[in-house]
Amino acid sequence: MATSSKTTAAKRTAAKKAGAAAAKPAGGSSSASAARAMADPMENMQKMQKALAKPLQEMGERLQQLKISGAAGAIAANGRKDLEALMRANQKSYQGLQAVVQRQTEMLRDSIAAWQGTVKSMPSNDPKENIAKLDAMGRAAFKQALDDIRELADMAAKSQAEAFEIVRGRIASNVDEVKRMLKQSGGAK
């Protein structure tokens, strides 16, 4: 208990320091601080992936070390295959999530660069022209945002479909195994 409360307190302290560091303006441009802020979700996702995968890997290793024969061996082998399928599905899902986050980061960087370019190119003496440019930029940004949302949704759906296919394949294999066992037990009578 004491160790976990120390760990929790250390995490809170680190989070406060990170928040304070993020709140301080950096010596560089605002896009550099935005890039650092966008890198944090990827790091957090990687930590979460490792935390989720480690128990499954440890369980798989324990099951592989068991020396069991007969029906218990078959059950353990099926359990190993199930865990392997879950780990592969988890990996596919994680890779898809990584791809979505990376693409979102690219989209955000492109959008920021486009807005910065438009603002820099505005002549300061003609407000009507400035408003017209902002209006055109706003319309283009809205259309681009809709296209980006569709693209990200497609990426996420594809990733989840691939992960589901791994699990579906393992379920089908289990069903086939049960049918085979039922035939064997029915034929033995």
Residue with tokens 């359990």: 79
173/146 Cα distance (integer angstroms)? 40
The structure tokens listed for 34 are 């935005």
Choice between 144 and 7, residue whose per-residue pLDDT is larger: 144
pLDDT at residue number 157: 92
Q: Which of 36-50, 108-122, 139-153, 170-184 has the lowest mean pLDDT?
A: 36-50
The pLDDT confidence band at residue 151, using thresholds 50, 70 and 90, is very high
pLDDT digits over 90-116, tens only?
888 889 989 999 999 999 998 888 888
pLDDT at residue number 2: 47
Residue spans of beta strands (DSSP E) within 4-52: none
pLDDT digits over 37-57, tens only?
455 666 766 777 777 777 777
Burial class of 115 by CB neighbour count within 10 A (0 to 12, 13 to 18, 19+): middle
